[in-house]
């Protein structure tokens, strides 16, 4: 705690330190500042670069600190009892379950499904070739290499609020198997077409322009729900920039002119702004019932688009016999404001349990 106090004093007083040294003190400062209230997600992010000889030590320490603060704020949270007979994936899974079990509060993200959002960059650069990854259930994030600010469609990265589950609270099933998380929701659709993936490692924008131009050509040939060519181009532009605005002050979304300025026009400010707002590390898809969206690069044809109650995004699940695996999250244009829940109310869709392994 003395280290945390010293770090807090140095950060708040900026005592002749370079920016780099101040940044190095931020994790310790964050732990001390927990006394004034910190989201567990934020705490996990700020301490992401801290290591422990046993990864379980770090998780139990953070849960202990957080549980003390939660109780002072009147949040109910089950006591955390360290159990070193459990494996690292099981302890990480316990953290997810604790997070989901906390009473939902408007100012904090505990109790939401945010902790399940995946860091696509980490998945495809670090975890993809990690032999240990096979021991982790798909719903358990790799907290040893996690960055919440880079996790999918997190609030920090978009301008819009989404309510695909119409703010229906999460429904969690009893734990029968520590490797399986049971959540209630509904299947909305499935993936029928995958567009070309934009390679963000390519320095020149020409390849990205050609990729989007080809994907748009393919999309315009498909029977989608958005109407004519102009409406489909507009939906395409807003899908690629899902939840982001070209004018943050007025929350002005992108339109067809912005799309065309990027893929067809010469280098210009409008085209560059559109390019800057494209979602990196996301793939484009259309569904069997004619919607377009973007989501995890690891999705396959036939994967399911689902609403999980309590979620602020749509999720991609893959059928694994009687269970499912979590592929990632997605945005589907026209289904982010409770439309699927209206289908449920009308009897077009049925709710079900998803046992995610």
pLDDT digits (tens, 9 = 90+) for 165-208: 998 989 999 998 999 999 999 999 999 999 976 665 555 667 77
Largest CA distance in the chain: 65
The yes-or-no verdict on residue 1 having pLDDT over 50 is no
Q: What's the pLDDT at 339?
A: 97
Backbone torsions φ then ψ of 171, nearest 5 degrees: -125, 115
Could you report the per-residue pLDDT of 123-175, keeping only the tens digit for each? 544 445 455 556 789 999 887 765 545 557 777 667 778 999 998 989 999 99
Q: Which residues contact 196 (CB under 8 A, 6 or more apart)?
A: 211, 214, 215, 284
Place of tokens 């940044």: 23
Alpha helices for 103-243 (secondary structure H): 120-122, 205-220, 229-240
* Beta strand segments in 140-180, E: none
Average pLDDT over residues 90-106: 82
Instruction: Evaluate the CA torsion angle 101, 103, 104, 105 in order and state its sign.
Output: negative
């Amino acid at each position: 705690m003395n280290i945390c106090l010293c770090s807090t004093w140095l950060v708040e007083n900026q005592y002749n330190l370079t920016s780099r040294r101040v940044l190095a003190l931020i994790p310790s400062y964050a732990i001390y500042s927990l006394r004034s209230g910190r989201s567990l997600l934020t705490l996990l992010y700020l301490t992401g670069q801290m290591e422990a000889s046993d990864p379980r030590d770090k998780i139990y320490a953070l849960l202990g600190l957080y549980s003390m603060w939660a109780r002072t704020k009147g949040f109910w949270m089950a006591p955390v009892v360290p159990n070193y007979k459990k494996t690292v994936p099981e302890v990480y899974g316990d953290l997810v379950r604790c997070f989901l079990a906390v009473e939902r509060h408007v100012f904090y993200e505990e109790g939401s499904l945010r902790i399940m959002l995946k860091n696509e960059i980490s998945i495809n650069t670090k975890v993809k070739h990690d032999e240990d990854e096979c021991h982790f259930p798909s719903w358990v994030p790799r907290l040893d290499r996690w960055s919440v600010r880079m996790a999918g469609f997190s609030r920090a990265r978009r301008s819009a609020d989404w309510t695909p589950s119409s703010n229906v609270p999460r429904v969690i099933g009893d734990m029968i198997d520590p490797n399986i998380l049971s959540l209630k929701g509904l299947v909305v659709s499935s993936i029928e077409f995958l567009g070309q993936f934009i390679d963000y490692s390519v320095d020149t924008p020409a390849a990205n322009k050609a990729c989007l131009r080809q994907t748009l050509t393919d999309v315009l040939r498909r029977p989608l729900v958005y109407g004519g060519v102009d409406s489909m181009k507009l939906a395409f532009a807003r899908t690629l920039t899902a939840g982001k605005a070209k004018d943050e002050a007025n929350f002005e979304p992108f339109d067809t002119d912005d799309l065309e300025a990027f893929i067809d026009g010469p280098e210009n400010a409008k085209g560059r702004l559109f390019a800057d707002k494209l979602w990196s590390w996301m793939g484009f898809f259309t569904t069997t019932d004619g919607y377009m969206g973007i989501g995890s690069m690891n999705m396959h044809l036939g994967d399911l688009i689902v609403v999980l109650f309590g979620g602020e995004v749509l999720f991609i699940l893959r059928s694994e016999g009687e269970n499912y695996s979590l592929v990632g999250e997605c945005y589907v244009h026209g289904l982010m404001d409770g439309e699927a829940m209206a289908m449920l109310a009308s009897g077009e869709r049925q709710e079900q349990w998803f046992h995610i392994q």
